């Protein structure tokens, strides 16, 4: 597969993850979606559902992994690629190792809890008996925009809100210098 085919495949499957994220949004959950692919086919999908599932571990990535493992009858998902709209957290990164995910492709960075690039490079931690390849920034503008709009609506922010010190808006960067903002709850 050449680079153009790889980019096209990543775009296509990230589109599927974005569809899952929209389902999360429509269900009142934070709009993060994921699909798990093996052999060019989606074998698992999921969206964030910790609120509706009353399960703090029901992140989109874990829902997609559980779906794939159930469908395939195997908890080892060797050679698979997981597509997720937002950079995964440390809990999800640990699951990638245990499930033997081959590659994780994410859309937008998550500067507060992202654990593949932003806060820690979990895929590179010593002591793991499996390594996960990481590809970031696929359709990042769309992934970021979905999150931004969700939090604007949820918090009642105006569409043209600008991040100001102490405003509760957090930059969500993609590493290209074209950072955007999403609203974050205040602690």
Catalytic center residues: 61
**Alpha-carbon distance 27 to 22, whole Å?**
9
Q: What is the CA radius of gyration of the chain?
A: 16
Q: What is the DSSP letter of 149?
A: H
Note whether 142 and 112 are within 8 A (CB): no
Q: What is the DSSP letter of 134?
A: E
- In this structure, the dihedral spanned by the alpha carbons of residues 122, 127, 130 and 132, taken in order and rounded to 10 degrees, is 20
Which phi and psi (to 5°) does residue 5 adopt?
Answer: -65, -40
Q: What is the DSSP string of 12-69?
A: HHHHHHHHHHHHHHHTTS---EEEEEETTEEEEEEE--TTTTT-TT--HHHHHHHHHH
Note whether 116 and 104 are within 8 A (CB): yes
**Alpha-carbon distance 158 to 128, whole Å?**
45
């Amino acid at each position: 597969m050449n680079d153009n085919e790889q980019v096209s495949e990543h775009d296509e499957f990230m589109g599927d993850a974005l569809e899952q994220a929209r389902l999360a949004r429509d269900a009142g959950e934070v709009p993060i979606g994921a699909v798990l692919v093996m052999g060019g086919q989606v074998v698992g999908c999921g969206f964030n559902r910790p609120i509706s599932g009353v399960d703090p571990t029901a992140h989109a990535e874990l829902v997609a992994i559980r779906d794939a493992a159930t469908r395939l009858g195997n908890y080892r998902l060797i050679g698979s690629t997981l597509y997720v709209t937002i950079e995964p957290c440390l809990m999800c990164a640990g699951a990638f190792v245990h499930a033997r995910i081959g590659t994780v492709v994410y859309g937008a960075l998550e500067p507060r809890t992202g654990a593949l690039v932003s806060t820690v490079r979990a895929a590179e931690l010593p002591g793991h008996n499996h390594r996960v390849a990481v590809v970031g920034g696929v359709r990042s503008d769309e992934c970021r925009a979905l999150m931004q709009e969700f939090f604007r609506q949820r918090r009642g922010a105006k569409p043209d809100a600008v991040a100001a010190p102490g405003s509760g808006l957090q930059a969500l960067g993609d590493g290209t210098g074209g950072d955007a903002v999403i609203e974050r709850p205040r602690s």
